[in-house]
A = this chain, B = another copy of it.
Amino acid sequence: MIGRLNHIAIAVPDLAAAAAKYRDRLGADVGSPQALPEHGVTVVFVDTGNTKVELLEPLGADSPIAAFLDRNPAGGMHHICFEVPDIAAASARLLSEGARILGDGRPRIGAHGNPVLFLHPKDFDGTLIELEEISPPGNR
């Protein structure tokens, strides 16, 4: 069911400082900050060639990563995202296997404009997993 690791998201308290560390210390391919107010984050993409790291800083009063940074003020790994070809089929399989989907249990449109869902970290060894529907190349 799951395909490629689309990204790993890291919540950071200071996006400019984090981006500078990836660029200067690690020599990584670091993009420009993109504000996504409807998702409550500003994001910088680090392109590793095969996948990407997303550095996330809270944006606005209701950021979905604010509580995580309250618990982890220095920042930390927030979630990983796997691609699936059909989010409805993925959702049905997961529910039939007893996994819990966060929120109202229905896919919503994620930060990349594709349908996504998040799985309860208690069902996956303390790891918050996002699934994102990415159409196979032949259907794009």
A binding-site residues for B, Cβ under 8 Å: 1-5, 8, 10-13, 18, 21, 24-28, 48-51, 53, 55, 72, 74-77, 80, 82, 93-94, 97-99, 121-127, 129
Decide if A72 touches B2 in the complex (CB within 8 Å): no
Query: Contacts A25-B97, A26-B82 known; A51 to B5 CB distance under 8 Å?
Result: yes
Decide if A2 touches B48 in the complex (CB within 8 Å): yes
Chain B residues with CB under 8 Å of A98's CB are: 25
- Top 5 A-B pairs, shortest CB-CB distance: A1-B27, A75-B125, A76-B126, A77-B77, A74-B126
Distance from A26 Cβ to chain B, minimum over Cβ atoms (Å)? 5
A125 to B27, CA, bound (A): 16
Chain B residues with CB under 8 Å of A129's CB are: 26
A26 to B101, CA, bound (A): 13
Distance from A111 Cβ to chain B, minimum over Cβ atoms (Å)? 19
Chain B residues with CB under 8 Å of A24's CB are: 97
Interface centre among A24, A27, A51, A94 (most CB of B within 10 A): A27
